[in-house]
């Protein structure tokens, strides 16, 4: 079984929000009853250069998603970076290798865009995700910090 990855379309937003909600942290912070903020965020993302949402389809259904952001900078001799965010595979399909397929798709897109580094953050509570990323060759090399700007 393989997923077909493609850029997300506006009509995919409800399915993507459902994937974001279908997880231990997402169920408390994502709201399926009001999609307006998500549609507005999708429109803002698509207007930005180097910021794209992708979906993975299987049998005509959206069952996976990730956001890929390209970052140009001066450090590391100007190495371009790709940041992957909001990585999700439908709960009933986890543990079947589709997450590795998703990451492989993102890495291919990052290489094609001239990126030399792929980076991500993951919540400290997601211990299974930590093991997954390590298996794929990712190193927990940094300590991340966040601050809510209200």
Complete domains list, the chain, with CATH: 4-135 (3.40.630.30)
Rg (CA), the chain: 15
Burial of residue 143 (number of CB atoms within 10 Å: 0-12, 13-18, 19+): exposed
CA–CA separation, 102 vs 16, rounded Å? 14
Q: How many CB atoms lie within 10 A of CB 148?
A: 4
pLDDT of residue 143: 87
Question: Per residue in 23-57, pLDDT tens?
Answer: 878 888 898 999 999 999 999 999 999 999 999 99
Rounded to two decimals, the pTM is 0.93
pLDDT of residue 34: 94
**Containing H/E element for 68?**
strand 61-71
Q: What is the mean pLDDT of residues 105-127?
A: 95
pLDDT of residue 1: 66
pLDDT of residue 44: 97
What are the tokens at 79? Answer: 């190495």
CB 85 within 8 A of CB 69: yes
pLDDT of residue 9: 98
Question: Per residue in 57-103, pLDDT tens?
Answer: 999 999 999 999 999 999 999 999 999 999 999 999 998 999 999 99
CA–CA separation, 88 vs 83, rounded Å? 15
């Amino acid at each position: 079984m393989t997923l077909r990855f493609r850029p997300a379309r506006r009509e995919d937003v409800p399915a993507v929000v459902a994937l974001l909600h279908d997880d231990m942290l997402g169920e408390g912070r994502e709201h399926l009853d009001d999609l307006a903020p998500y549609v507005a965020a999708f429109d803002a993302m698509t207007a930005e250069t180097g910021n794209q949402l992708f979906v993975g389809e299987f049998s005509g259904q959206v069952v996976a998603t990730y956001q890929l952001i390209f970052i140009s900078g001066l450090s590391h001799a100007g190495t371009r970076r790709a940041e992957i965010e909001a990585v999700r595979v439908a709960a009933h399909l986890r543990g079947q290798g589709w997450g590795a397929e998703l990451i492989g798709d993102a890495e291919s897109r990052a290489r094609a865009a001239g990126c030399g580094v792929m980076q991500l953050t993951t919540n400290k509570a997601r211990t299974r995700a930590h093991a997954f990323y390590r298996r794929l060759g990712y190193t927990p090399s940094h300590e991340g910090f966040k601050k809510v700007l209200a």
